[in-house]
Every structure is written in structure tokens, then in C-alpha cells.
Amino acid sequence: MGKVIAVANQKGGVGKTTTSVNLAAGLAYLGKKVLLIDFDPQGNATQGIGASRSSFKLSAYDLLLSDKKASDVILSIHQPPLSLVPSTIDLAGADLEMVEYKQGKEKLLKNKIDPIKDHYDYVIIDCPPSLGLLNTNALTAADSVIIPVQCEYYALEGLTQLLSTIRLVQRLFNPHLIIEGVLLTMYDIRTRLSVEVSQEVRKYFKERVYKSTIPRNVKLSEAPSRGQSIFEYDVRSEGAKAYAALAKEVLKYNGG
């Protein structure tokens, strides 16, 4: 059974894309069949995994709003060995277009993903930094959510809003949605702030906070400009070790 995990937080810059790309890559290198869906109009995951704009015609926009099937839109990436639904700025218009749909606009992605999810072990959705219809579509299609929390000032601000959105989606469209885990990102052991944010998040989410925390690591910020996951860019880096540990933790939680 394929598991669909949305990586969501309406705040920008908290590590959603870095986590989506490197968790997807980590799971792929552990031998899992992985589909990465770039669901952000900025297309950062698409570029970050090395899919150049000229290598595809169809994207997440077509998956969502045309009669194209997932298999028409999916690209094969070789390093890391995974499948990708790429995204372009076209997706930015989807929110407005969907508003015109009277019924079922929250389930458009789910309808396309459900028929193929069992071809994969994991489907990872990199969500946009907003709580609009794109996010609702991702949460409705997902079995669970990973919430990256940046160890910075105001880290917890906005989490209440995200949690109430998750509850709303549970109530209206997807009763089975669960929180897969909360991931502390850009952790800096030398700062009291990181320690404090980490303690606060653990106090609230308890055992749902991953043991693996992602350190602030410059290699993680350099890798996307090469179109590489951290495992191609610098497998010995602290960032690579952290995302490898996270991938193992996700597997363990899901029974291997």
C-alpha cells in the first residue's frame, strides 16, 4: 500500500522543499519506490532534483486541472532513482481556476493520485507556503502530514492555524489524515533559541516529534543549485546524515 505524505507548513522558508527532496531521495536510496510531487508553483523541488524546464511539457497544473492522468505527467529521475511530478508557475493560477468548480474542488489531486498510489511505497507532496486550495488538495490526497518547524524566532507562530486547517480537512474531506511527524529543521546546537524551540515543540507534540533533527548545514542550501539531492551533492555532510536518519525513522514508523 502506497503511503501519501504531505510536507506542509504555510510559512515559507521552513524547510518543506529541502525535506521533501531529501526525504524522497533518502527513501529511494533505501530501496523504496518513491513519487515526489512538486505542488508549489515556485517549482523549487523540481529544480532542486535536477529536472530542467525543457525536460517536460506537462506539470502538476495539468495533473490537477486537465484530464491528463498521473502517468502522463510523471518524469523519471535517475539520481536519485525516483519519479517526479514537476511544477511550474502555471500552478499559481490553479487556485483561482478551482474556485469556479462548484463541487469536488478539494479532491482534484486525490482523484488523480488514488489510482496510482499503490505503484509506489511513498508519495511525497511538497506543499506551497499558503493555506489555500492547493494545500487543501494536498492534505485531502494525503494519508499523513510531516510538519517542518524551523528552529527560529516565531517558529510556533502559525502552527495553530496549520493545525486547525488539518482538523478542518479531517472533518470535511479526509477523516483518516494523521500527523506523521513534526521535524525540527535548521537546528543549531550552539544557540539557546534552537534548544528552546525544540523543547517547546516537544512539549506540545511529544513523541510525534522526530528524533532526527535537521541541523543548519550549508551543504543543504547549496545542493539545489546543482539540481542534486544532498546524497549526490555531499553524502558525508551533516545534512546528508540527518536526512538519511530521518528516512530510516520514517520507514521504522511505517513498519519498515
Which residue is closest to Mg ion by CB? 17
- Binding status of residue 140 toward Mg ion by CB under 5 A: no
Selected binder of ligand ADP within 94, 220, 240, 247 (CB under 6 A) = 220
Selected binder of Mg ion within 9, 17, 136, 229 (CB under 5 A) = 17
SS3 126: strand
Which H or E run includes 193? helix 192-205
- Binding status of residue 212 toward ligand ADP by CB under 6 A: no
DSSP state of 108: H
- Which CB, 10 or 194, lies closer to Mg ion? 10
Listed in sequence order, the residues at least 6 apart from 40 whose beta carbon sits closer than 8 Å to its beta carbon are 16, 17, 87, 91, 126, 127, 128, 129, 134
Selected binder of Mg ion within 3, 16, 32, 117 (CB under 5 A) = 16
SS3 181: strand
- State the helix-helix crossing angle for 238-253 and 16-29, rounded to 10 degrees: 70
End-to-end CA distance of the chain: 13
Half-sphere exposure of 52 (CA within 13 A, CB side): 3
CB of 104 vs ligand ADP, minimal distance in Å: 28
- What CA–CA distances, in Å, run from 205 to 11, 213, 238? 18, 14, 25
CB of 42 vs ligand ADP, minimal distance in Å: 8
SS3 254: coil
CB of 9 vs Mg ion, minimal distance in Å: 9
Among the residue ranges 36-44, 70-78, 100-108, 174-182, the one whose residues contact Mg ion (CB under 5 A): 36-44
CB of 251 vs Mg ion, minimal distance in Å: 24
- Binding status of residue 237 toward ligand ADP by CB under 6 A: no
Selected binder of ligand ADP within 133, 186, 247, 250 (CB under 6 A) = 186
- Which CB, 15 or 181, lies closer to ligand ADP? 15
SS3 15: coil
Please answer whether residues 58 and 72 qualify as being in contact, where contact means their C-beta atoms are separated by less than 8 angstroms.
yes
User: With the C-alpha atoms ordered 58, 63, 67, 70, is the resulting torsion angle positive or negative?
Assistant: positive
Report the site for ligand ADP in 93-132 (rule: CB under 6 A). Answer: 129
Choose from Mg ion, ligand ADP, none: what does 125 bind? Cβ within 5-8 Å by kind: none
Please answer whether residues 32 and 82 qualify as being in contact, where contact means their C-beta atoms are separated by less than 8 angstroms.
no
- Binding status of residue 216 toward ligand ADP by CB under 6 A: yes
CB of 200 vs ligand ADP, minimal distance in Å: 19
Strand (E) positions, 127-186?
Answer: 144-150, 178-185
Among the residue ranges 42-50, 77-85, 131-139, 248-256, the one whose residues contact Mg ion (CB under 5 A): 42-50
Write out the residues near Mg ion by the rule CB under 5 A.
16-17, 44
Write out the residues near ligand ADP by the rule CB under 6 A.
12-18, 44, 129, 185-186, 214, 216-217, 220-221, 224, 239
